[in-house]
Amino acid sequence: MQRYNFTNPLFLLKIDIMIRRFFAVFALILFTRCDDGDIITVNLEFEGDLEFCDNNIDSFLIYDTREDPNETLSIIIPRGTNQDLPFVENTVPGAPLELPINGSTTRFIYRTYNRAIDNQELCEPITPSNLIVQEDYEASDGTIVINVTVDDDDGDGIPSDLEGRGEPDENGLYSNAQDWDGDGIPDYQDQDDDNDNVPTRFEIDTEDLDGDGDPTTNPLNTDANSNLNPDNSPNYLDIDDDGDGIPTAEEDEDGNMNPTNDVNTNTQGELVPHYLNELEAVPYPFPGLTTGNQFNRTIRASFAIINFNLEILSSEELDFGDLIYEITITEP
């Protein structure tokens, strides 16, 4: 049986931790009497910000650590051939992945140590001589339940569920998702929702000025107060961002399909792109639409351990936490 040294985080990926979880689970703090009469108190209320190491070709180790007391909660799940990441695809909504704990390929382990675990110790093949495992308990049964979701499918800064994705059909597909520009790519997967050659991520409120975490509630709208053609369409859904009557894609002076780098002076004496300057109303030849995208997609894998027995305790359900990371997507 493969043995792991649960002693050193190896950050091979950019782990973007976004949530501190406060658990509501059954029997977080449980007590049991050991054979020698001692009472052991085990508190599984870890923060739930998970990390992983992948230095074993057959499996992934996914873990959470805590100090005072010095503990780890860890799971081991199988790793496929040439599989670099634990998960890259969204599971079918309503049908999470379930992995029965079997003590070999799929495991759930609780350990305590004599000291705090350094962030560079968990994945090393050799355990430091001064790091001692004091208690080691492994679940004999139970199931690991994994829900994989994509927070932002197209990496445009707007969460997918705020881009008119709607509800999945019986096949888990978003067949009624909004496609504002009618290009055949639903907005939640489209990096340029209005097909104006300015990517959506450059046309939204990235500063979250209203503090609600939703870039669609106070989006950029350059021509809201235009003297020519004011409208209520946010820039990321507006083919004429400055309201001067010239489509944004045709305010591309150098014809490189990038309107953001063609600038002139506005009424305040500032250099701004033509497509955001209603004083600059010169139509240039339509250069065509951009093709090919590369962006980062945020993956969230949420774990729960159900109906497990760790010898010193058992529980119907434990919210183990979230593993969050980014993958780079290249589309033609």
Domain identity same for 106 and 129: yes
For residue 105, the model assigns a pLDDT of 95
167 within some domain? no
Domain identity same for 206 and 260: yes
Domain identity same for 135 and 244: no
Domain identity same for 54 and 143: yes
15 within some domain? no
* Segment 180-209, tens digit of pLDDT: 999 999 999 899 999 999 999 999 877 777
141 within some domain? yes
264 within some domain? yes
- Mean pLDDT, residues 35-63: 78
255 within some domain? yes
Domain identity same for 234 and 120: no
For residue 37, the model assigns a pLDDT of 46
For the chain, the first-to-last Cα distance in angstroms comes to 44
Could you count the other beta carbons within 10 Å of the beta carbon of residue 103?
13
Domain identity same for 278 and 226: yes
Residue 327 has pLDDT above 60, yes or no: yes
Residue 257 has pLDDT above 90, yes or no: yes
pLDDT interval class at 6 (50, 70, 90) = very low
Averaged confidence pLDDT in the chain: 82
Phi, psi dihedrals of residue 51, rounded to the nearest 5°: -130, 170
Q: Which of 120-129, 158-167, 238-247, 315-324 has the lowest mean pLDDT?
A: 120-129
Domain identity same for 208 and 264: yes
- Mean pLDDT, residues 217-229: 84
For residue 122, the model assigns a pLDDT of 84
Give DSSP secondary structure letters for 161-224.
GGTT-----TTS--TT---TT-SSS-GGG-SSTT-SSS-GGGSS-SS-TTSSS-TTSS---GGG
73 within some domain? yes
Residue 3 has pLDDT above 70, yes or no: no
Range of the domain at 88: 29-151+298-331
Domain identity same for 110 and 198: no
Give DSSP secondary structure letters for 85-139.
SS--SPPPTT--EEEE--SSSSEEEEEEESSPPPTTSBT-SS--TT--EEEEEE-
For residue 41, the model assigns a pLDDT of 57
* Segment 59-110, tens digit of pLDDT: 999 999 998 889 999 999 999 998 999 987 665 656 789 999 999 999 999 9
Higher pLDDT, 20 or 116: 116
Q: How many domains does the chain have?
A: 2
Is residue 235 helix, strand or coil?
helix
24 within some domain? no
Domain identity same for 231 and 200: yes
Domain identity same for 265 and 220: yes
Domain identity same for 260 and 323: no
| Rounded Cα–Cα distance for residues 300 and 132 (Å) | 32
Domain identity same for 231 and 136: no
For residue 145, the model assigns a pLDDT of 95
> Residue 173 is encoded by which pair of tokens?
């597909």
13 within some domain? no
